[in-house]
Amino acid sequence: MLNGRRRTSAAISGVLLAVVIGSVPSSPAHAEPTIDEVQHRVDRLYHEAEQASERYNQAKVELEELRKDLDALEADQNRQDGRLATVREQVQDSIISQYEGTSISAVGQAVVSDDPSAFLSQLTTMSAYNDIQTQLLADYSTELKALDIRKSATDDRRAQISAIEQQLADEKATIDDKLAEAKDQLSTLKDQEREELLASRGGTVRLPTDVPVSGRAAAAVQYALAQVGDAYVYGAAGPSAFDCSGLTMMAWAQAGVGLPHSSSAQFGSGAHVSSSDLQPGDLVFYYSPISHVAIYIGNGLIVHAANPGAGVLVAGVFSMPYAGAVRPG
């Protein structure tokens, strides 16, 4: 009888357990991401792409300077080649003129090695048994050392340029990868949800109609505000698409101020000002390390090229992690 009650109790418990388990909703193995989750991922990918883009821009600035330096070094090396050739001719002419008609004159004519170091070695050997002018030999040796220094500097610049060019290729690949990944994230949403997400990326700050600004800064602010609604494209600097530093560079160019196409380089383009002393036209920088720049337009607002999903828009000055500000010019 006892065993029967136990079997009945066990059966009832099994039925209850089945009911309880059946009443618990199961979670799908691969739940679709929410709009907030996708927005977070897309924002992160856009930011990572912009970081790579600004490193790319900075590398281009450095590459331009290195190429200018290389041009100067190559010109200096060519001048040094000319000076060395002149001294070499003087040395050889001296040998030939001093011993014209002798066997040593023939030796002097034979000293024609194309290798400057080999030529110096020949002269050193000859000086052991002839009367070559010591000063000319010393001059040649000095000019040869100077040429070697210039060749070394030129080779170093070429190596630096090669490294920068590889960095440019790497950063461009990173930009493309991050942007493609962001597009993949957006493609997981339905059309309506994607439109809502992209609309939310554009912000809600209205375009100001009257910005209190004068002088050269007025030209920069007016230009930047005129671009609101334009597209964001990595590496672009107008006329209808910009990245962040491309917009600020072109805006201040309207005021006759030249800025490099790099947010980190622009951070050193003027006097630093505190956030409490911001004036319209000031450049405002974001993130650490710096990878984004905007133009302050007053009333706690900035205009900036935000990202590919938002384009050029007006936002709050502290809508991103604030890093500092600079007053160009």
**Closest CA relative to residue 211, chosen from 286, 313, 303, 285:** 303
Q: Determine which one of 30, 47, 244, 261 is catalytic.
A: 244
The distance from CA 273 to its chain's CA centroid, rounded to whole angstroms, is: 24
Active site residue 304: yes
Q: Known catalytic residue: 244?
A: yes
284, β-bridge pairs: 294, 325
* Active-site position among 40, 47, 261, 292: 292
Sheet containing strand 270-273, edge to edge, reads 270-273, 322-328, 283-286, 292-298, 301-305, 312-316
> Residue written as tokens 């160019």?
253
Distance CA 234, CA 149 (A): 40
* Alpha carbon distances (Å) from 49 to 66, 75, 182, 245: 25, 39, 10, 14
Residue of 30, 47, 261, 304 marked active site: 304
**Is 272 considered catalytic here?**
no
Is residue 180 within 8 A of residue 49, CB to CB? The reply is no
Q: Report CA torsion sign: 254, 256, 259, 261.
A: positive
Show Cβ contacts of residue 286 under 8 Å, excluding neighbours closer than 6 positions. Answer: 292, 293, 294, 320, 321, 322, 323
User: Hey, which residues are catalytic here?
Assistant: 244, 292, 304
